[in-house]
Structure formats: C-alpha cells, structure tokens
Amino acid sequence: MKANELIKRYAVRERDFRKVNLNEANLREVDLREINLSQAILNLADLTKC
C-alpha cells in the first residue's frame, strides 16, 4: 500500500492496518495515533516522528 492511500484511509477513521505491506512507505511526521500495524510489513518504511 502506498503512503498516500494509508493516509486517506486513516483520515476516514480506519485504524486497522494489520498485515498491510508498507514496504518503503514514507510516513514522516504523520500523526498515526491509535493505528494498528501488527504484522505489517515495514521494511525500509520511514516512520520518523509518527
């Protein structure tokens, strides 16, 4: 999943992103409170200041 798709889904109150492939996603400085990323694929994802 691309970062912009995740952000759009998060904006409409979706919080469950279990097992989502976020390989190389750039989510730098995005406020992701209450997000569930358990078992998500986060190789090379940039989650700085999330």
> For residue 36, what pLDDT is reported?
96
For residue 25, the enclosing domain spans 1-50
**Cβ atoms within 10 Å of 26's Cβ, excluding its own:** 15
Question: What domain count does the chain have?
Answer: 1
> For residue 8, what pLDDT is reported?
95
Residues 1-50 have pLDDT tens digits of: 989 999 999 999 999 999 999 998 998 888 999 999 999 999 989 988 76
> For residue 17, what pLDDT is reported?
95
pTM of the model: 0.78
Query: d(Cα 44, Cα 50) in Å, to the nearest integer?
Result: 15
> For residue 29, what pLDDT is reported?
87
